[in-house]
Structure 1
């Protein structure tokens, strides 16, 4: 026959509070995938995307591009460099200065208007680094080296993550939609995010495959032109396709 204090001990051990305490003590640190997913979803929210499945695709794409301001901040610095370099290759400082100057103007305008400066500031840092490299080597084509490296890294990360079953698109969408990493247990979602990750990786490698030969042959004007053509005009349709897939996988709750 059991004693009352033994029964009380068993009851305490089986109580929710006791179970929660044990779970908390044994809880593991967030995994790398969870941290990456949270970071990606945060970036998506800062880009204007939300977990509201009722958003129109046009609105989502426009928000992802940053509206007219985002388009101008993305296009004008590179466009200014290409036009000025084509008209007057020397001195190189002229075209590079115009590119960095425009990026700086966009950043200052955002700071004055107290709007989030992250996009423009990122563009300014990238333009400054690219210009510094080009001035150091004396080759206008080196202004595009950071973009080539970025495409290689992003493309590799997208495809490798998809192949190992941790699609970066899936991680971003999972945390954005409040699903965490549960999508990996859903065969339909896992397959969709696999192919979306592959598609994004192919996009980055397509840019690299077209632009790298032009860089190696020092065709600066054509390289800059194709960089612009393969930028937002390809980015926007990919965002649209991605969002349409997300809406199909996560129907809006009535």
Structure 2
């Protein structure tokens, strides 16, 4: 059951091809900016994002990731146009990581780890996991992995932005994008599986105790 839900969620995120395609506008922007300048690069990056969306529509693939990607590229292009600097193209992503990281970190402080909340919603199992310290620790671990990913992205890319190292900023955006997300996703899957196992064991023990009484 969990494996089917995990695959369904990956499909909604666009799958492995969607993750790779999300890097296309960034790579195009970097190359064209070097060759033809900022204005041309912004238009070509938007065209690339639009081409990815059209490609997924033609193949009847999940288009939500492509739509989100197109909007994201549009916002990034607008910021870069307003600032008149190539590094502005990455500013939206930098602060998006800060926002996501803050939300995940806050959920840990409130003792409602976001991975547990999301999984309880997707699996429709409710929030009984909060009564299990062992299960909550696994959800804390998974949520913490995402906090580290978002924090690392923000700290590294913000530093490169502030020091005007646009080339390295682009490299960091690509190398710290879906590869780090994939690692955090693996940690999440393993932690959720362990948490589910713990909850099943505890439920079984409760049933045995009720039967004995």
Pairwise same-fold verdict (TM > 0.5): yes
Offset at residue 204 of structure 1 (A): 0.2
Computing the radius of gyration from Cα coordinates, the structure with the larger value is: 1
Offset at residue 217 of structure 1 (A): 1.6
Report the equivalent of 2:2: 53
Offset at residue 65 of structure 1 (A): 5.9
Report the equivalent of 1:168: 114
- Distance verdict in 2 for CA 1:66–1:118, change over 3 Å: closer
- Distance verdict in 2 for CA 1:233–1:182, change over 3 Å: same
Query: Bigger shift: 152-161 or 189-198?
Result: 189-198
Report the equivalent of 1:13: none
Contact 1:53 1:250 in 2 (8 A): no
- Distance verdict in 2 for CA 1:157–1:61, change over 3 Å: same
Please give the per-residue CA displacement for 1:9-56, whole angstroms capped at 9, x wherever unaligned. Answer: xxxxxxxxxxxxxxxxxxxxxxxxxxxxxxxxxxxxxxxxxxx2356x
Offset at residue 108 of structure 1 (A): 2.0
Query: How far, CA to CA, are the matches of 1:107 and 1:63 in structure 2?
Result: 15
Offset at residue 183 of structure 1 (A): 1.0
- Distance verdict in 2 for CA 1:143–1:96, change over 3 Å: same
Contact 1:82 1:225 in 2 (8 A): no
Normalising by structure 1, what TM-score? 0.71
Query: How far, CA to CA, are the matches of 1:172 and 1:164 in structure 2?
Result: 15
Query: How far, CA to CA, are the matches of 1:235 and 1:69 in structure 2?
Result: 14
**What RMSD in Å do the two structures reach over aligned CA positions?**
2.4
Contact 1:61 1:236 in 2 (8 A): no
Query: How far, CA to CA, are the matches of 1:64 and 1:219 in structure 2?
Result: 34
> Are positions 1:204 and 2:150 aligned together?
yes
Residue 250 of structure 1 aligns to a residue whose secondary structure is: helix
Report the equivalent of 1:83: 31
- Greater helix content: 2
Contact 1:130 1:146 in 2 (8 A): yes
> Are positions 1:72 and 2:54 aligned together?
no
- Bigger relative contact order (CA 8 A; separation at least 6): 1
> Are positions 1:239 and 2:188 aligned together?
no
Q: What residue ranges of structure 2 are gaps of 5+ in the alignment?
A: 201-213
- Distance verdict in 2 for CA 1:107–1:54, change over 3 Å: closer
Q: 1:122 aligns with which of 36, 58, 68?
A: 68
For 1:122-161, what aligned pairs fall within 5 Å after superposition?
A: 122-161=68-107
> Are positions 1:226 and 2:175 aligned together?
no
Offset at residue 61 of structure 1 (A): 9.4
Q: What residue ranges of structure 1 are gaps of 5+ in the alignment?
A: 1-51
Please give the per-residue CA displacement for 1:137-168, whole angstroms capped at 9, x wherever unaligned. Answer: 11110001110111000000001111111111
